[in-house]
Structure 1
Amino acid sequence: MDTTATGPTFREATDADVDALVALIESAYRGDASRVGWTTEADILEGQRTDPEGVLQVIKSSDSRLLTVEQDGRIVACCQLEHRGDHAYFGMFAVSPTQQGTGLGKVVIAEAEQRARETWGVTQMHMTVISVRDDLIAWYERRGYRRTGKMTPFPYGDERFGIPQRDDLQFELLVKPLV
């Protein structure tokens, strides 16, 4: 009997995926569940990372895609792709904490870049990362992303994005050419 796990399958998220996607994103970033993986924000942010309304907004937007990754019948990763003129924005990236470190994230980001090129003909991928997340930024740099030094403020006081545990949070723009 073959007991090997099937590889990941990619598809665009639907309304029916909202609850599973919110649970995945929360587990990857916040609370003790996120500490199983290496990309947790639990030490710098408490509260929610997203909510059903935010996920549904991405799914419904004509300029966005919420790429959903399934393995063995369950959602294990996701990412947002948004068309912004000559570039695409990469966000809402989450890999199940139990799947982090397995190479799945590399596969997802490569698929996202390919889809952005093919779907919109963009030449760059942009993302923003909390600037104190040195380990995560280093991971993106190994995938070809470069720090720009361009910062935008963290939305302090808007608990939809979490409850900051420090006062020096800001987002840095990372950019990768898609050639």
Structure 2
Amino acid sequence: MDTTPRPATGELVFRDAEPADADALVSLIESAYRGDSSRSGWTTEADILEGQRTDPDGVLDVIKTTDGKLLIVERDGALVACCQLESRADAAYFGMFAVRPDLQGAGLGKVIIAEAERVARESWGAGEMHMTVISVRDDLIAWYERRGYRRTGKMTPFPYGDERFGVPQRTDLQFELLVKALA
């Protein structure tokens, strides 16, 4: 008889991604942000960007980095979400956040970001969490603000012409830095 502890049905399991997870992670991230499937969730970027959001090489780079991790979130053995965490001096960077579109809007994102903040604080002693969000994503920025993130007004240009990050459908895209104190 197998006596290995198992999470209760429906309980979330967080684990570090492995290279073998790359293709499933690309599918999850693409489904949350690009194409028609992303429209069933609220985080879609389909109206502002076409093409890919990431690729297997980009995901593998995050998985293999020595100063960060890609957290996988599973429920009942199925991949439901992911997020990138990277240690940057006294801060941590949060990115590559994706929740399966059919599960968006049910509170899962709040739980995942809280766990990411805990990991950054406890694993690296991070005093702040940083992230960048496309500045025209008002609904998404408002969601992060409700979780304690603040807009900094610090912008970085969108990588126009680099289709690894998508094909912009407008000319005013840039990234804004959002910050939250973790102490």
**TM-score, normalized by length of structure 1?**
0.97
Contiguous gaps of at least 5 residues in structure 1: none
Instruction: Verify: 1:67 aligned to 2:71, yes or no.
Output: yes
- Aligned-residue Cα RMSD (Å) equals 0.8
| C-alpha distance in structure 2 between counterparts of 1:64 and 1:5, whole Å | 29
Q: List, as ranges, runs of 4+ consecutive aligned residues in structure 1 with deviation greater than 4 Å.
A: none
Give the structure 2 partner of residue 175 of structure 1.
179
Instruction: Verify: 1:23 aligned to 2:16, yes or no.
Output: no
| C-alpha distance in structure 1 between counterparts of 2:79 and 2:150, whole Å | 29
Instruction: State which of 33, 58, 67 in structure 2 corresponds to 1:54.
Output: 58
1:157-176 map, 5 Å: 157-176=161-180
C-alpha distance after superposition, 1:88-135 (max 9, x if no partner)? 000000000011001000000000000000110010000000000000
Match for 1:10: what amino acid?
Answer: F
Give the structure 1 partner of residue 105 of structure 2.
101
Instruction: Verify: 1:12 aligned to 2:16, yes or no.
Output: yes
| C-alpha distance in structure 1 between counterparts of 2:43 and 2:60, whole Å | 24
| C-alpha distance in structure 1 between counterparts of 2:66 and 2:128, whole Å | 19
Give the structure 1 partner of residue 89 of structure 2.
85
C-alpha distance after superposition, 1:66-102 (max 9, x if no partner)? 0000012111100000001010000000000011001
Identity of aligned residues (%): 77
Give the structure 1 partner of residue 47 of structure 2.
43
**TM-score, normalized by length of structure 2?**
0.95
Give the structure 1 partner of residue 130 of structure 2.
126
C-alpha distance after superposition, 1:10-61 (max 9, x if no partner)? 0000011101000000000000000000010000000000000000000000
Contiguous gaps of at least 5 residues in structure 2: 1-7
C-alpha distance after superposition, 1:131-167 (max 9, x if no partner)? 0000000000000000000000000000000000000
